[in-house]
Amino acid sequence: MKKAFLLLTPGLATAGAGEVQLTIEIPRLEVAEYHRPYIAAWLEKPDKSHAANLTVWYDTEMKNAEGEKWLKDIRQWWRKSGRSLKMPVDGVSSPTRPVGTHTVAISDKAVDMTKLAEGEYTLVVEASREVGGREMVRVPFKWDGKTTVDASGAGKTELGKVAIKIETQASN
């Protein structure tokens, strides 16, 4: 079994976590010029402050890391934490994804759920597409370290269904 890790400040209450899965659907759009969206997913605390980055999908193949200059177009994520990161981030950043439903296990290099304090959180997924639109989906959930989290929401244009599932060690 994989253990999931979340980079947070020390001294938080601990709770048992197994695997963290994130599902993001990128819908097929009937447009003249289609580009894969840049997507960031992160956790927020109730005061909307940043708790952890889960994943960032962007064009990692461009010469001279040119794809990184467009990360600021994922505006909310950029303001919360993106501008302070040195990309690429091991276990967090990866290439853009094509149309379809993508489920990823969050890397233990990115998230240690055992250090996530019990309480209310929100999964935030933001998408931005060149010659396209922007969209953000917010999915609230409660983390107590004992109960499996299985929460989802849906976008209307740039994003389809987004979901987070956190298996606790007790439920495995």
Please write the tens of the pLDDT for every residue from 149-172.
999 999 999 999 999 999 886 655
Range of the domain at 68: 5-171
Question: How many structural domains does the chain have?
Answer: 1
Q: What phi and psi values does residue 134 have, to the nearest 5 degrees?
A: -130, 150
CA-angle at 165, arms to 78 and 11, nearest 5°: 65
Q: Which two tokens stand for residue 87?
A: 């990309």
| CATH number of the domain that residue 93 is part of | 2.60.40
Question: Does the pLDDT of residue 2 top 60, yes or no?
Answer: no
Question: Does the pLDDT of residue 12 top 50, yes or no?
Answer: no
- E-strand ranges in the chain read 5-6, 20-26, 38-44, 50-58, 93-95, 100-105, 111-112, 119-128, 134-143, 149-154, 161-166
Question: What does the pLDDT look like over 24-78, one tens digit per residue?
Answer: 999 999 999 999 999 999 999 999 999 999 999 999 999 999 999 999 999 999 9
pLDDT band for position 3 (cuts 50, 70, 90): very low
Can you name the residues that pair with 40 across neighbouring β-strands? 56, 126
Q: How far apart are the first and last CA of the chain?
A: 9
Question: Does the pLDDT of residue 9 top 60, yes or no?
Answer: no
Mean pLDDT within 104-122:
80
SS3 (DSSP) at 65? helix
Which residue is listed with tokens 């467009």?
Answer: 70
In this prediction the pTM is 0.86
